A = this chain, B = another copy of it.
Amino acid sequence: MTFHRPPDKEHIDNQMIKMEVNLDDMPGEWLGYVMDLLFAAGANDVYYTPIYMKKNRPGVLLQILCSVEAVADLKQILFRETTTLGVRYYPLSVHRLERRFELFQTPWGAVTVKYGLMNGKIVQRAPEYEDCRAIAEKHGISLKDVYASIWKSEKENE
């Protein structure tokens, strides 16, 4: 059996793939749309890198990280929505930390904080961006102040 969603325990995932496409004949406008489609179809991450291609062309390197199972669907999107005639890919391993999620109360409502644990010890703490953004917008506070408050409240609860 294959895990479509990786387990939350610390582990090494050897079923990951990186896909790549070089693009020099497609407007950037379309690429914003393609990124959304790729995430919706199961990509773990999608990102663009500026590259210098032949004949003085500023191009874009599209990269996708995904599980082996998602490759076929993502290829379909790449061929349908970009202008490429080829998609390249290769396997890689990912060492993932254990993940835990906890809710913290702030003066403006609850916020989820994501923890990363290495060998059972917390090494990462990150308030969820969308929670913080919602508070910032609703209460007219700067986003950086929302984060600062949560870091403090999170510390006090330890």
Contact = CB atoms under 8 A, between A and B. Distances in A.
A81 B27 contact: no
Interface string A79-108: 111011111111111111101000000000
Contact of A88 (B29, B65, B88, B97): B65
Interface residues of A, number: 77
A133 interface: yes
A1 interface: no
Interface in A13-31: 16, 18, 20, 22-31
Contact of A27 (B25, B125, B133): B25
A57 B28 contact: yes
Contacts of A147: 30
A95 B90 contact: no
B45 A22 contact: yes
Given A80-B123, A83-B124, A88-B93, A143 B60 contact: no
A110 interface: no
B51 A47 contact: yes
Of the listed residues A36, A59, A63, A114, the one surrounded by the most CB atoms of chain B closer than 10 A to its CB is A59
Contact of A81 (B23, B33, B143): B143
Contact of A142 (B59, B81, B152, B155): B81
